[in-house]
Every structure is written in structure tokens, then in C-alpha cells.
Chains A and B, each alone.
Chain A
Amino acid sequence: MSNAVQMNNITKSFSGIAVLNGVDLTVAAGEVVALMGENGAGKSTLMKILCGVHEPDSGSIFVNGKEEKVPTPRKAFSIGIRAVHQELSLVDHLTVASNIFLGQEPSRFGFIDHAKMQQMSQAILDRNGFELDAGHKVGDLSIANKQLVEIAKAIFDDTKTLILDEPTSALTKKEVERLFKVVALLKQKGVSIVYISHKLNEVVQIADRVVVLKDGQNSGELPIENVTEDKIVRMMVGRDIVYSHTGAGKVSDESVLKVEGVSSIAVNDINFDLRKGEILGVAGLMGSGRTELLETLFGKRKLLQGSVWLKGQKINNASPRHSIKSGFAFATEDRKGNGLVLDMSVKRNVSLPSLNRYVKFGFINETARTKNSEENVRSFNVKTSGVNQLVRNLSGGNQQKVVLSKWINIRPTIFLIDEPTRGIDVGAKAEIYQLLRNLASDGISIIMVSSELPEILALSDRVLVMKGGSVAGILDRSAASEESVLMLATKGENLNGNG
């Protein structure tokens, strides 16, 4: 029997950094393979190669025993490979139906047959129990519904291999169960499925086999009967503990920040306070307003109501500029998008918010600036050929260290950090955790958003859980566990709005 999909010895690098290094993957017809691994292990890249988004540097792909080159998504479609990517790739201005059929619209006499498209889309939605109107504009849908449209896009009649890349991140429990029914149905029809997920409980429910990647290589695989959390974690990280509880720092009793009834377009009536040297973790599902909370505090979003008090003084963070002046720093979740200027050097990036310090009589004092950035590079252990190296050429972990040093240079009182270790390998993660701990013990107060619960639990002195733009609850370190946080994040209604 030939495998439905067989990928052999796949390698891929991006700008000189190896992301995949000789990875193999096979999926039989009607099999559900769970692909697991840390962020940055190469799961998504491997799948993007299979569905034609990226081309591999070397290696071969066999589909039903026949070697195939898959240079474009269109080619992948034509051989029955479809994917639901982690990032939504929908056109907001088009209807659900137009999105589902994007690029393969049914046509009559050369014109798009809208009626037929509408009818076929509705059939796909109904058959899978997705309660959506095919005529709706996608831009008006909630994130969860958008994710359902993404899934509907991928389950055509001719789909032979389906890739699901963390499809449940924005779904409620009910919707997840519906998705699992769809997966079971497809499996019965002989569709091969690759399911990428961090959530072991989901994986155990639907997968036949688990394949684990680590640092761009196969790290092991197990039939689902033999899977235990310990075994998977060990394969994922290659050692037993990543999230070592570094021990709560000595948080002083001195309160530095008081947030009272803060609302913006995305968050509603937020109340909490923060002590000196404290790390406050902010958890919540995707779309719960975690990032938006930080953006509101930093003045990137307009504050509509409420007040923020820093050391007893009411402050007005009307813009990032004001916020920085009042002692806030904000490391965003999107390093490349808005954290760094990739085509500028390490030196110029780390001095960007603090440039005024080096300016004398209108001129930049390069000697002082070079000296300071060399110190930054040393103390944050940035692996770079020098401070004049372009940030573009650094690895994710080192780029993140550049982001952190850049903000430490303004000597912030409050450090807002969104996803401190997204897309970073395990080794660098541990370093970043240590750095954050050190900053906290130096007296900097940190508000840290993360979608990785173990990270939140390991670092935070307290955990603030968001749901639907509001605070669902704040847990002390002793009370915070994966269960208690998730409970608040998913069923926070009863606890909500009593503040």
C-alpha cells in the first residue's frame, strides 16, 4: 500500500537560517496524523511546503506513490491537497461563498456563476453543520466564524489530503466538537489529515498517530495508544523541563500602577493594579483582548474611559510618545511587523527610542552610541557579528533580545510585553525567561501577554485572565494552574462584571 502523502528528507532555510533539516512525514489514506512540536519547530513550514506556499530547498514529495513537485497552491489543489492555515487568509470584502470558491469560481460562458457558487457553498456549510449564511460578507463575521469559513474552504469533494494548522485556536468548545465530527467524517471517506496542534487533549481525541518535530528535525513518533503527556513533552523539548519555575521574585508591596475602569474600542472596564518588580501574566483565548489591553495602556489605541495612575499620579498615555515619556515600554507580538526596523543595524535599532541621549548640538555621538549598544549586546547575549549587523540577518531569538534591549535602554517603569517568545527556539526561550526575571528583580514591573499557558504560569506572580475584552478574573500564583486559567478564559461569564 502506498502512502497518500510521503515527504522525504525535506530541508528548507530562510535567509540562511535552517528551519527544516531533513524531515520525513508519511500519512496513509484515511489516517489522522497529529504534528506536534514547539513554536519554531518547523511544523507550519513543513505543511506550507506540502501545500505549495514554500518550495523546499531539497527533498521529495510523493502523493499516492507518484513523485510531485508542488510549487504553487494551485498545484496543491489540483492534486487534492488543501490546507487551513493558522493565519486567516480571507478577503474581508467578499462574501462567504466568494471566499470559499476564491480562485476556482464555477463559471458559465466565461462569467462567474454566482447563483451556483452560493448554492454549492451553502451546501458545504450545511453538510458540515456550520451555521453560516453563504451570502454574508466575511468582514462582518466573528473570528470564530471566520475560522469556520477557512475550514469550509478546504473541504471540497476532491480534497484527498487536508492540513489543519491549529484550527481551533479561536473556536469555542461546541465548535471544536463540530469540527471533530467533520474530521471523523472525512477520515471515513478516506481523506488523509495532518492536524497541527499544541493541545494534547484534542490530539488524543482525533489522531491515529503523533509525529513530533524539534528544531526542524524529526524527534520521534508514537501511535496514539502509547501517547502520554510526558513522552510528548520530552520529544518536543528534548529535555524534561523548559518552564522551570524560576521562583517568584521578591515583589515589593509598593504599588506602581493602578488601572481603573479602562475601556477602549477593544477592551471594556479593565481594573487591576501592579506592584514594583511584579510580573503580571495576561492570559486568554485568541481575540479575548489581551493584545488590545496592552495597546490601550500604551496609547496605541484610544482610551475611551477610565484612568491610569502611575505612582499615584494620573497619567495620560495619549500616544506611544506620551507613554514612553511617562515610563512605559511596549515590546509588540509582531517583531518584524512593528517591533524592529529590519534593514537597520542592531545599534540603530537598540537606540531608536533612546536616541535623544546621544544627541549633542544636533549631532549623534556615534562613539557613545556604539559603546552603549555593545554593552546591550553583551548583557543580553545577542549573537551577532557586531552592532553594525543588520537586524534582518539575526535569528528570531536574537531579534527578540534586540527588542528587549531597545526598550530597556529607555529605563522603563512599566514594561508591556506581548508574546515574549513567539517563534523562538527552546534555548533562547530559557534565556528570555531569565532576562525577564532579572528585569523584574531590578524593579521593573512587567505586564506580559502570552498564548502559551506554561509560560504564563512559570513567570507570572499573578495571572490576569481576559475574556471577550473584559477581565474574567485575576489569579494569585498559588491559585493559577492550566485548569483554573482555562476555566476563566472559556467560561468567565459568571465571574465577569462584578468588579
Chain B
Amino acid sequence: MATAKNRQRAARNVFLQKWDDLGNIRGLIAGLLALVILFSLKTGFFLTQNNLIAISDQITTIGILALAMTFVILSGGIDLGVGSVVAMSGVLITYFMSQGMGMVQSILLGVLLCTIMGSLTGVVITKFMLQPFIVTLGTMGVARGVAMVVSNASPITQVTDGFSNLGSGRIGVIPNPVLIFVVLIVLTVILLRKTKFGEYTYAIGGNEEAARLAGIPVNFYKILIYTLSGFLAGFTGYLMASKFNSGVPTLGQGYELDAIAAVVIGGTALSGGIGGIGGTILGVLIMGVLNNGLNLMGVSAYWQYIIKGLLIIVAVIIDSYTRKKR
């Protein structure tokens, strides 16, 4: 009897401890729950299986970009190019196929070119010691331009049969992209928390000079981080092209800002060194749920801009306030 009670108490303590360890994320979880409850009460449709699957499907694109953006921002950088790279990737892959290249080769080459673009971005930032903001503003233009030039500014629809299988298929009721997103979450969490790459990402963002003096090849890791960003943007581009069964040169405009917003709402500091994937996922979910819920409630798109804009500001205020109190 007594032991059962003790065990119960111990379990509760463990739970409280775990809850405590979550730190800044607690506010996000509470916020997300509040939104879910609000929308469930306001619209009967919100908590249905179909709608939840729809939400998951909607958030994968920004979600994958936000995973990569988390690394970039944690290292103290920023990557404004990812939205354009998404378009470039889709256009390149479909263009290669329309020119008679095999499907697999086209996909690999397209994603590889995006990855190389990411590496080059990192090389330029580190070798010339430039602000990532400016350099990636440049790559944003270049990638969009490449997409436009290659596609002649109109969607490429001449694709190999079966190209859309991955992007529009499902396993059971779950869309493939959602499953891929989940796998990528697991992989990036491992990368960030269990490997040297992740450890150094935090160190570089936390104090680049201290990292350099500790013998960390800072430039090499920064280049790797932008390479990862280029790769995941390229992969996202492939996923979307597959989903739409075409390469759309105007795709992905503003995605970089949504990804940055999700990361920042998730509590990762723009100055680098603080934050993580967990927060980012919550940031992505909050944005996705808000989007979906407001649509269901029939709130006009214009009002949605205002609400989402304010959300970013409020999230950052709360985050900065809790940090100061600590």
C-alpha cells in the first residue's frame, strides 16, 4: 500500500522534473494546447482525423525547411535562400526529365546541385567573412533566377510517369511527406544532440571566438551547416515537385520567412547558441494549427497576416522575458 503510494509520488516527481527540464518549451506546449482547445470548441471539424492529417500535410514543407533553419540559426547565421532553392530544385529536376534524363538521375542531380549551392554559400560567407544575411539574400535571387531562366518562367509539366508517387502517395492514411518529415525530425534531433556536428553548432553560435580558440574548425562546420540547409531545401523542392507533378518556378516565395518564424517562435535565439529542434517543431505546429484553425473559422486571409505577425512578436517578447528572469 505504502509502496504503491511512494511509487506514485516518485512517478509524479519524475514527471515534474521532466516538465521542468523542458524549460522555455513549456510555454509553447501550453500555447499549442490552448489553440487546439480554442479551435475544437469553435469548429466541430477541427479535431477530425481528416483535418489533422490535412494539417500535418500542410506543415511538412515549412517543417523540413525549419529543421535545417534551426541549425543555421543556432550557429548564429541565417539562410534567406531556401524558398528560392525549393523552386530551383523542382524546376531543375523536371527540366532534366523533360530533356530525357532518367528520373532517378534527374532527382539526384537536382538535389545535388542545390546542395552544392548551399556549400558555396557557406564558402563565400566564411572565406570572405561576410554577413550570412547579405550572402543568402544574394543566393535567394540567384536560385529564383535559375528557376525562371531554366523553366522560361512557366511550370514544367513534362515529367516521367511515376514521378508523383513519392510526393502524393500515402501509407495507410498518412501522406508520404508527413512520414518523411517525421523521419527527418528523428535524424536531425540525433544530429543535433548526439554528434560533434550538433555540439559544435551550438558552440559556434554561442561564442564563435571561444569555439575557434578551442580548436574547432569553425569555417568547415559553418560550410557544412549551409550545405545541410541547401540539401534539405533541395529535397523539399523535389518533394513538392513530386506532389504537384510539375516544376513550378514561382513556388516557395516567402517560405524562408515562414521557416525563420517557426524557428524563432520555437525559442531559438536569432543570435545563435540557444534553442533546439523540439521548439522548432512546436513553432511549426503552432503556425500550422493557427493557419488551419483560422481558415476553418472563416477568418479572412488579410486578418490572418496580422494575427500571425503579432504572434511572432508576442512569442519573442515572452521568450526574451523568461530568459531575463532566469
| Interface set of A (CB-CB < 8 Å, partner B) | 298, 300, 320-321, 323-325, 330, 332, 337-344, 348, 352-353, 355-356, 359, 362-364, 406
Contacts and interface: CB of A to CB of B under 8 A. Distances in A.
B207 A341 contact: yes
Given A343-B273, A355-B196, A355-B199, A320 B215 contact: yes
Given A348-B202, A348-B203, 14 more contacts: A320-B215, A325-B215, A338-B210, A339-B210, A339-B213, A340-B210, A341-B203, A341-B206, A343-B273, A344-B273, A348-B199, A352-B203, A356-B196, A363-B194
Contacts of B274: 343
B214 A353 contact: yes
Nearest to B271: A343
B320 interface: no
A120 to B, nearest CB: 39
A348 B213 CA distance: 15
Contacts of A363: 194-195
A433 to B, nearest CB: 24
A283 to B, nearest CB: 23
Interface in B131-170: none
A320 B213 contact: yes
B196 A341 contact: no
Interface residues of B, number: 20
12 contacts: A298-B213, A321-B215, A339-B210, A339-B213, A340-B210, A343-B206, A344-B273, A352-B216, A353-B216, A359-B195, A363-B194, A364-B194
A364 B190 CA distance: 10
A353 B207 CA distance: 14
A300 to B, nearest CB: 7
Contacts of B215: 320-321, 323-325, 353
Nearest to A295: B213
A298 B213 CA distance: 9
Contacts of B20: none
Nearest to B207: A341
Contacts, number: 67
A353 to B, nearest CB: 4
Given A343-B273, A352-B216, A338 B207 contact: yes
B217 interface: yes
A339 B211 CA distance: 9
A340 B207 contact: yes
B213 A341 contact: no
A337 B213 CA distance: 11
What 4 pairs between A and B have smallest CB-CB spacing?
A: A341-B206, A324-B215, A338-B209, A353-B214
A363 B196 CA distance: 7
Interface of B: 194-196, 199-200, 202-203, 206-207, 209-217, 273-274
A284 B273 CA distance: 36
A355 B216 CA distance: 10
Interface centre among B196, B207, B210 (most CB of A within 10 A): B210
A364 B194 CA distance: 5
A456 to B, nearest CB: 23
B144 to A, nearest CB: 35
A323 B195 CA distance: 24
Nearest to A321: B215
B220 to A, nearest CB: 10
Nearest to B198: A364
A337 B212 CA distance: 12
Nearest to B190: A363
B271 to A, nearest CB: 10
Contact of B217 (A300, A321, A344): A321
Contacts of B195: 359, 362-364
A341 B202 contact: yes
Nearest to B21: A388
Nearest to B194: A363
A55 to B, nearest CB: 15
Nearest to A337: B209
Contacts of A300: 213
Contacts of B202: 341, 344, 348
A352 B211 contact: yes
A353 B274 CA distance: 20
Contacts of A340: 207, 210
Contacts of A355: 196, 199-200
Contacts of B209: 337-338
Nearest to A322: B215
B55 to A, nearest CB: 33
B273 A341 contact: yes
A250 to B, nearest CB: 31
A253 B202 CA distance: 43
Interface centre among B195, B207, B212 (most CB of A within 10 A): B207
Contacts of A323: 215
A447 to B, nearest CB: 16
B260 to A, nearest CB: 20
B192 to A, nearest CB: 11
Nearest to A320: B213
B212 A320 contact: yes
Contacts of A324: 214-215
A398 to B, nearest CB: 17
B194 A352 contact: no
Nearest to A351: B199
A342 B206 CA distance: 7
Nearest to A344: B206
A320 B214 contact: yes
A410 to B, nearest CB: 8
A387 to B, nearest CB: 15
B209 to A, nearest CB: 4
B34 to A, nearest CB: 28
Contacts of A342: 206-207
Interface centre among B211, B213, B274 (most CB of A within 10 A): B213
A330 B202 CA distance: 21
A300 B194 CA distance: 30
B290 to A, nearest CB: 29
Nearest to A363: B194
Nearest to A336: B207
Given A342-B206, A352-B203, A406 B196 contact: no
A300 B218 CA distance: 14
Nearest to A353: B214
Contacts of B214: 320, 324, 352-353, 406
A211 to B, nearest CB: 33
Nearest to A334: B209
B97 to A, nearest CB: 35
Contact of A344 (B196, B203, B212, B213): B203
A362 B211 CA distance: 19
A332 B211 CA distance: 12
B187 to A, nearest CB: 12
A353 B217 CA distance: 11
A298 B215 CA distance: 11
A236 B51 CA distance: 71
A363 B217 CA distance: 18
B213 A364 contact: no
A341 B199 contact: no
B215 to A, nearest CB: 4
A340 B214 CA distance: 9
A323 B213 CA distance: 10
Contacts of A364: 194-196, 199
Contacts of A339: 210, 213
Contacts of B199: 348, 355, 364
